Amino acid sequence: MTDDRSAVPGGPEELDATATGIDTTVPHSARIWNYWLGGKDNFAVDREAGDAWAATFPGVRDIARASRSFLIRSIRYLAEEAGMRQFLDVGTGLPTADNTHQVAQRIAPRGPHRVDRRLLRRPRARRTRRGLLPAMAA
């Protein structure tokens, strides 16, 4: 497998592991999930582990996508149909297309906040929060 994602500016391959304490030599389930959903916040080791898992359980990528689709439908319903305007997504996970805050903000731009205590999320959250409500890391 080629590692063509390492050249993405601001991508995870630029992460300073010594400063964050994140071990980029060991696969992580959140980064594997990110890979399955087409995200860029994963490392070669995560992609290799994700591919190995998918070889054993071929439907796992479909499950990841179905789970994301359910999240999108649920948040859209809550914001559009139920009129919910306040969202607090605790343990938000790695940013991937159509996270809770992205779906909700398309409908209710002042709604969601993100909270996560994990170090892995902080560098990415700082880079992606421009134009969004503040991301908080506890």
Q: Report the CATH number that the domain containing residue 42 is assigned in CATH.
A: 3.40.50.150
C-alpha–C-alpha distance, residues 44 and 87, integer Å: 33
Residue 9 lies in a domain: no
Strands (E) across 9-93 are located at 87-90
CA atoms within 13 A on the CB side of 67: 12
Judged by DSSP in three states, 89 sits in strand
Burial class of residue 18 in the structure, from the number of CB atoms within 10 Å of its CB (0-12 exposed, 13-18 middle, 19+ buried) = exposed
> Starting at the edge strand that comes first in sequence, how are the strands of the sheet with 112-115 ordered?
87-90, 112-115, 135-136
13 part of a folded domain: no
Residue 75 lies in a domain: yes
Q: What is the pLDDT of residue 90?
A: 74
* CB 104, CB 75: distance < 8 Å: yes
pLDDT of 128 over the 80 cut = no
In a domain, 11, yes or no: no
CA–CA gap between residue 70 and residue 129 (Å, rounded): 24
What is the domain extent for residue 119?
23-136
Instruction: Answer yes or no: is 95 within a domain.
Output: yes
**What is the share, in percent, of the chain residues with pLDDT greater than 70?**
62
Q: Is the pTM of this model over 0.75?
A: no
Q: Is residue 3 part of a domain?
A: no
Q: Is residue 52 part of a domain?
A: yes
Q: Is 87 among the domain residues?
A: yes
For residue range 20-57, what is the model confidence (pLDDT) as tens digits? 678 899 999 989 999 999 988 899 999 999 999 999 99
Burial class (CB in 10 A: 0-12, 13-18, 19+), 36: buried
Task: State how many domains the chain has.
Answer: 1
Contact between 4 and 10 under an 8 Å Cβ cutoff? The reply is no
